[in-house]
Amino acid sequence: MKIGVFDSGMGGLSVARAIERDLPEYEVLFRNDAKHVPYGSKTPEVLLGYVEPILQSLADAGCEVVVVACNTVSTTLIDQLRGRISVPLIAMEPMVKPAAKMTKSGVIAVCATPTTLKSARYAWLKQEYAKDIKVVEPDCRNWSRMIEAKKFDAALVQDEINDAIVLGADVIVLGCTHYHWIQEEIKAIAGSRAQVIQPEPAIIKQLKTVISKLS
């Protein structure tokens, strides 16, 4: 079986590698959109034109399931894409629900792109799972570009993470796969003050469930 993984840039490569580690018996095809990265400030209408042909190419290449390893696309377009692509699509979205369960301070921080933070799906996640807690949203608009350029701006990230923790956040959600590449740096900044979570383990669990149904 072939498994497709898509992301706007290099972020989703961490997801592809995690799948390869956990499911070595399957072939993983990774595709990104280096021409148009980053996606975080683009409109859903523009993104649909970019994403649909790439997902279709993965289906045409024999992928029986595709992981959409992009929170921006998943939170804005996944329903439309599922209506257009013939194979199952696994979406990736900010882990608001588990963060809300984990917090002891009643404050969580969601690090995500501007388009994700403006999406109806993200608003629903907050209303459904975090209506009784405070959600801090650090300004991460330049993080994806920084990570694509492989230039880590420690001061930029440190300021945003520290500000969120000062506001009481004890759980930090990485709501963009690009940020997985600086997860260890973010954990170092947070130290014992906050937990840092990202969805790769949950995505692999969901992927295994989908595969079992396809077999």
17, 82: one domain: yes
- When divided into structural domains, the chain yields a total of 2
What CATH number is attached to the domain comprising 107? Answer: 3.40.50.1860
Shared domain check, 100 and 38: no
Same domain, 119 and 155: yes
Which residues are within 8 A (CB) of 8 and not within 5 positions of it... i.e. 6 or more apart? 32, 33, 36, 37, 38, 39, 70, 72, 73, 144
For residue 112, pLDDT beyond 90: yes
Q: Which residues form the catalytic set?
A: 70, 176
Query: What number is the average pLDDT over the span 121-140?
Result: 97
Per-residue pLDDT at 124: 97
Does residue 121 share a domain with residue 61?
no
Domain containing residue 51: 2-93+200-214
Give dist(CA 153, CA 40) in Å, integer: 18
- The predicted pLDDT at position 208 comes to 96
Q: What is the pLDDT of residues 70-98, one digit of tens each?
A: 999 999 999 999 999 999 999 999 999 99
CA distances from 186 to 7, 31, 160 (A): 21, 26, 10
Same domain, 131 and 166: yes
Give the sign of the dihedral formed by CA 148, CA 163, CA 174, CA 81: negative
- Mean local confidence (pLDDT), 7-12: 90
The pLDDT value recorded for residue 118 is: 94
pLDDT > 90? residue 140: yes
Give the pLDDT confidence of 147-199 residue by residue, as tens digits: 989 889 999 999 999 999 999 999 999 999 999 999 999 999 999 999 999 99
- Whether 105 and 181 map to the same domain: the answer is yes
Q: Is 151 found in the same domain as 73?
A: no
Same domain, 110 and 45: no
Q: pLDDT band at 41, cuts 50/70/90?
A: confident
Statement to judge: residues 158 and 123 lie in one domain: yes
Whether 23 and 80 share a structural domain? yes
Average pLDDT over residues 4-13: 93
Residues 193 and 102 in one domain: yes
Do 106 and 192 have their domain in common?
yes
Other beta carbons within 10 angstroms of residue 105's beta carbon come to 15
Confidence of residue 206 (pLDDT cuts 50, 70, 90): very high
What average pLDDT does the segment 95-116 reach? 97
pTM of the predicted model as reported, rounded to 2 decimal places:
0.92
